[in-house]
Amino acid sequence: MRAIQEDISMVRLELGTLCMSTLEGLQRPVDSRPSLKTDLAQIRQEVAVALGPRRSQATYADIVAGPRQTLPQPRPTIIISSKDEKYTNEDVLTRIRKVADAKKSGLTVETVRKARNQKVVISCESESALTRLTEKLTPALHIVRAEVSANITVVQAATLQRKKLATHELLKEATSRCIDVSIDQEPYVGAEGVLKQSLGMRVIQKTQNRYKPVKAAIIIHNQNMEIHEDLILTTENIAKVKCNNIILAGDVNAWSTWWESIEENHRGAELSSFLDELELQVLNVGEEPTFEVIRNSKVYASRVDIITCTQDLLGKINEWEVNKEYTSSDHNAITFNINLEKQIQENNNKTTRKYNTKKTNWEKFKNEFNIEIGKTA
């Protein structure tokens, strides 16, 4: 935003200078005064020069046509819980901190995430570091090794506040950063009430029998992923795909210490009870706010955007991060990786045709067609 403001200020300065030049020209003799057409042409040229660098940025279509970035490699991960049922995840963390003291033990832990039911998820930089950590923790703690493969799906989630610019920014970042799936709340839908599809993406959203504009959508950027929409449960407010496990994301407008809020309000208590009932795990970590806005010279920040998952996915999701540079929305984007069990196969289909018309029984088709037409006549 600061760069945009600087550009606007520069344009204003250029226009102010040009206006002063025009006024000075009006004071000159009639014979030497430039025409209005000449002045406007000069203004257009100056504005074009001022905005040139910003207009020359790559568009979403340019990025789609370019090469995809290299995917990050997954980190070895374990899920740790206490053998003593009286222990909380804070007690487990205290034990881990004593063992994994980098200065004394030489162990390097990349990420630590508290989970429900006395569990802590840890990722290390290498297999050897994870093995040494496991050996030190085994006597007092119960450790489950998460199955991590090299097949990574990169996911981003964002609340876009119906803003056209924020939606466009998210699409560009998704492609340039090699995002596979976007979970979007309140995308820009325009007068049609649905998120417009573009080259290189497939949108899962409520399009048929719709009574109001779409408020939730899932965008598939990786065309090699085979993902099927749940037509029954997808509504204007919910976008859902068919799957065995669950990732639930959204702007919940609720505070809870479970997702690192400074306190818990009524909505947060109700949502925590709901998530606990479904045995969903909250993935949010750290104190980085997911919502930031300045109103009347005062900064308002909170953590109201959350990502949750089922127990089976807990050890397969890592690299959870809040990113402030994705969009101009008041809500910051969230990115994370999912380690898949199966490798995504490249889609080598050369046609969109679903049926082999050469094997069609046209006589039967004609009879059936005439019968159906007769019913509607």
Predicted pLDDT of residue 318: 83
Alpha helices in 316-377 (DSSP H): 362-376
Say how far apart CA 120 and CA 88 lie, in whole Å: 10
77-145 CATH, one of 3.30.70.1940, 2.60.210.10, 3.40.190.170, 3.40.50.620: 3.30.70.1940
Predicted pLDDT of residue 45: 62
Say how far apart CA 343 and CA 153 lie, in whole Å: 10
The residue among 294, 292, 293 whose CA lies nearest residue 303 is: 292
| Three-state DSSP state, 221 | coil
The residue among 77, 159, 91 whose CA lies nearest residue 126 is: 77
Is domain 151-340 classified as CATH 3.60.10.10? yes
One-letter amino acid at 93 equals L
Instruction: State the DSSP code for 346.
Output: P
- Both structure tokens of 43: 């203004």
Say how far apart CA 253 and CA 331 lie, in whole Å: 11
Q: What angle do CA 46, 50, 52 make, to 5 degrees?
A: 110
- Both structure tokens of 61: 């279509």
Q: If the chain, 377 residues long, is cut into consecutive pieces of 10 residues, what is the mean pLDDT of each piece?
A: 48 42 42 56 57 46 52 66 73 74 65 72 75 74 60 82 90 86 92 88 90 93 85 91 87 90 90 87 88 88 92 84 88 88 51 58 83 75
Say how far apart CA 123 and CA 318 lie, in whole Å: 8
| Three-state DSSP state, 247 | strand
Predicted pLDDT of residue 38: 66
Question: Which helix or strand (DSSP H or E) is residue 166 part of?
Answer: helix 164-176
Q: Which residue has the tokens 């976007």?
A: 182
Predicted pLDDT of residue 357: 66
Cut 0.75: pTM above it: no
CA atoms within 13 A on the CB side of 315: 19
Q: Where in the chain does DSSP place strands (E)?
A: 77-82, 109-114, 119-124, 141-145, 151-159, 181-185, 202-204, 216-220, 247-251, 280-282, 291-295, 298-302, 305-310, 317-323, 333-340
